[in-house]
Amino acid sequence: MPEMQRKRGEDPMAILSEEAKTIIAQTHPGLVATADKSGRPNVSAKGTFQVLDDEHVVFADVRSPRTIANLLENPQVSALVLDPATRHGVRVWGRADVLSSGELFDRLSRDLAAERKTEAKNFVVVSVDEYVTF
């Protein structure tokens, strides 16, 4: 049975359950859906999802020019992580902030370089408005 958390228009942000955090941390890749200001959609696979804290998830922009361009025009985002073997997953809706510098950017860059031997142009921090686990 899906676990729905927070309906739109209630509290400012949803609090991720331990189940949701575990699924996000252990399932890669995930998909990110964005739209430009005119509503033209884009979906991009991301292998760098991680939980930042109880209310935020983050992913790296390694090669995502359209995703970043869309988020700079329209910060609304949806993300899906799904384990095909178990069919368990999490869908997240929220607002994105694109980080290209600063202390958090530097920390995330160091972690990504150490874990994946790659560099990010940006990191996208998603403030979770709503999510569902299934």
| CATH number (domain holding residue 92) | 2.30.110.10
Looking at residue 117, what is its pLDDT?
A: 83
Name the average pLDDT for the chain. Answer: 92
What percentage of the chain exceeds 70 in pLDDT? Answer: 91
Distances from the Cα of 79 to the Cαs of 15, 30, 113, 128, in angstroms? Answer: 16, 7, 23, 10
- Residue 18 structural domain: 3-133
Q: What is the mean pLDDT of residues 68-95?
A: 97
Please list, residue by residue across 59-89, b when 16 or more beta carbons sit within 10 angstroms of its beta carbon and e when fewer do: bbbeebeebbebbeebbebbbbbbeeeeebb
Looking at residue 122, what is its pLDDT?
A: 98
Q: What is the distance between the alpha carbons of residues 88 and 133, in angstroms, rounded to a whole number? A: 7
Residues 23-56 have pLDDT tens digits of 999 988 999 999 999 999 999 999 999 999 999 9
Count of the separate structural domains present in the chain: 1
